[in-house]
Amino acid sequence: MAKKQLNITVIDMKIMRGIFGEDSHGLQTYLKNFIRITAGILQQVNSALETKSDQAALDYFHQLKGPVGSIGFKKMYRLCEQCESLISAGDWVSAMETYAKIEATLKALEVELDKKFKPA
Amino acid sequence: MSKQEEMDQYQSITNATVLIVDDNESMRDLLRAAIEQWGYQIIEAANGEEAWKIMQQPVPPQILILDWLMPKLDGLTLCNKIRTELATYPYIIFLTQVSGVTNILKGFEAGADEFLLKPVNFTELRIRILAGERIIKYLDIIADQKKELKKCQAYAKSLELKLAMPGAKSSG
């Protein structure tokens, strides 16, 4: 019987299959770490936004975008870019709103991952 | 044959060691997973300073995947240090979000061999690593031939000296 292919909708599974092949466990481990590390950086972004430290916030976004873009997490990547532009324009209120969307997007990935890897 | 299957044929030819230098753990994890699968040995460093220590070991990695903006020692300074202070020639691939012609030029001036932009295109990265591996292989061959040539020159010199000695006779 053919193995059921894991499908996470918010990231580019073509890229992930190119790297992990059929190794669902490897993919799961990677994504769990990705979520943990990204959430950590997001906390630092939040602190930078609260203190209106534009350079620090931009540096954290710079860090975030590398892996986010590389796994094809397009929605989050676009939001990060939006937030960067808002910070550069000094629009801290909108930047905070966009930040909340970024957090929600990461949470959505976490929820989907938990659902897909739920033991039968 | 699919593109993926086609690429799968191209595994590492030398089992070279690749040093991944990036301050983002998630990025390093992703690169490790991909590059290991292509048949390479992996070493990681979280900043330029760590990478510099690794590069000073007796048998340093032959290929570097280098981020630009990092704490302690940035990628550009590290690249420059490797080219000016080390006798070995690792193949250096910048993988960064720092873009623009001026920066790319800076990277090459510092001694980079390739310059790739994030987000990573894994097919492109794989092709560049393969190209780097080939160059490293040829550099090794040249180094071996140079050694051989030096030996031959030394031998020829010793023969010359023998022949120049008074009373030396030709045996032929």
Q: CB neighbours of A70 closer than 8 A, spacing ≥ 6?
A: A15, B27, B30, B118, B119, B120
Domains of chain B: 14-146 (3.40.50.2300)
Mean residue pLDDT of chain A comes to 91
3-state secondary structure of B66: strand
B71 or B57, which is more confident: B57
Which of B21, B98, B27 is closest to B53 using CA atoms?
B21
Most confident of A20-24, B37-41, B161-165: B37-41
pLDDT at B7: 57
Residues present in chain B in total: 172
Residues of chain A with pLDDT > 70, as a percent, come to 94
Which residues of chain A does B23 touch, with a Cβ-Cβ cutoff of 8 Å?
63
CATH of region A23-115, choose from 1.20.120.160, 3.40.50.720, 3.40.50.10860, 3.50.50.60 = 1.20.120.160
- Tell me the pTM: 0.84
Dist CA B44 CA B64 (whole Å):
10
- Mean pLDDT for B27-47 is 94
Dist CA A69 CA B143 (whole Å):
40
8 Å CB contact of B122 and A18:
yes
8 Å CB contact of A19 and B97:
no
Q: Which residues of B touch A (CB under 8 A)?
A: 4, 22-27, 29-30, 33-34, 37, 67, 69, 97, 118-120, 122-123
8 Å CB contact of A19 and B37:
yes
Closest residue to A62, CB basis, from B22, B30, B97: B97
- Within 10 angstroms of residue A103's Cβ, the number of other Cβ atoms is 18
